[in-house]
């Protein structure tokens, strides 16, 4: 169970709070959807849940313990622009193997072509690179996935295919997923329990 307790966040000591007393839980196998207007702190919350940013108050716990400070994190964050999350100087094969050795079934499920392994990230499309980032995030230590506008740049058919593959993995492995999206129809389609972040408050 991932739990965020009473999270406050501001970008500077004198600045306004971006997140104000935000609490949530995501249980194994659960699909939690977070929506909200632009600029209300959804990506900031994703970064805090993934351990990339420290809140000014509150805490994030996995099964009652703080997230590990080193090693491959059990909470993996997938951002909208996968190119910001990979080393541009590494070939795809090395990127995929960063946290684990993906099995053939997973590579096939997400349509990773064998010849991509020898290419650099800029030699894939944005959607293809996103699939590489997804597979990289699905290592055996992963317990929670945070998908921040993960399929926003995909067309409707590839978005549906990708979510279908993702939900199969989540159900089979009882992972929790937090799907952050502007797209209410998408959150309904993946049968998410939906919370709304507005003016720093999550309800």
Candidates 34-42, 88-96, 99-107, 165-173; binding stretch for ligand ATP (CB under 6 A): 34-42
Q: Half-sphere exposure of 9 toward its Cβ, with a 13 Å CA cutoff?
A: 28
Candidates 21-29, 31-39, 67-75, 187-195; binding stretch for ligand ATP (CB under 6 A): 31-39
Closest-CA residue to 42 (of 151, 146, 154, 155): 146
Check residue 181 for interaction with ligand ATP (CB under 6 A). Answer: no
Contact 113, 125 (CB under 8 A): no
Candidates 39-47, 103-111, 126-134, 170-178; binding stretch for ligand ATP (CB under 6 A): 39-47
For 21: left if phi > 0, alpha if psi spans -120 to 50, otherwise beta; the answer is left
Question: Binder to ligand ATP among 11, 68, 113, 164 (CB under 6 A)?
Answer: 11
Check residue 39 for interaction with ligand ATP (CB under 6 A). Answer: yes
SS3 state of residue 34: strand
Contact 36, 196 (CB under 8 A): yes
Check residue 52 for interaction with ligand ATP (CB under 6 A). Answer: no
Q: Which is nearer to ligand ATP, 135 or 180 (CB)?
A: 180
Question: Binder to ligand ATP among 32, 33, 44, 138 (CB under 6 A)?
Answer: 44
Contact 35, 196 (CB under 8 A): yes
Check residue 38 for interaction with ligand ATP (CB under 6 A). Answer: yes
Alpha helices in 18-155 (DSSP H): 42-49, 92-96, 104-109, 126-137
Q: Which is nearer to ligand ATP, 99 or 200 (CB)?
A: 200
Check residue 147 for interaction with ligand ATP (CB under 6 A). Answer: no
Question: Minimum CB separation from ligand ATP for residue 44, in Å?
Answer: 3
Contact 83, 130 (CB under 8 A): no
Q: Beta-strand (E) ranges in 64-174?
A: 65-66, 75-78, 144-148
Q: Which is nearer to ligand ATP, 15 or 64 (CB)?
A: 15
| Interface residue list for ligand ATP (CB under 6 A) | 11, 18, 36, 38-44
């Amino acid at each position: 169970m991932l739990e965020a307790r009473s999270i406050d966040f501001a970008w500077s000591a004198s600045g306004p709070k971006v997140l104000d007393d935000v609490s949530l839980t995501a249980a194994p196998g659960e699909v939690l959807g977070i929506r909200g207007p632009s600029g209300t702190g959804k990506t900031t919350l994703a970064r805090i849940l993934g351990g990339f940013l420290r809140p000014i108050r509150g805490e994030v716990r996995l099964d009652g313990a703080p997230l590990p400070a080193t090693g491959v994190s059990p909470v993996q964050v997938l951002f909208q622009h996968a190119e910001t999350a990979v080393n541009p100087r590494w070939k795809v094969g090395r990127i995929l193997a960063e946290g684990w050795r993906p099995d053939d079934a997973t590579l096939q499920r997400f349509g990773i072509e064998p010849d991509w392994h020898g290419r650099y990230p800029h030699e894939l499309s944005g959607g293809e690179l996103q699939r590489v980032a997804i597979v990289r995030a699905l290592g055996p230590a992963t317990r929670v996935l945070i998908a921040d506008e993960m399929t926003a740049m995909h067309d409707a058919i590839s978005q549906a295919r990708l979510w279908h593959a993702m939900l199969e993995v989540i159900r089979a492995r009882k992972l929790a997923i937090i799907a952050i999206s502007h797209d209410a129809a998408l959150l309904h389609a993946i049968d998410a329990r939906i919370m709304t972040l507005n003016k720093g408050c999550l309800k």
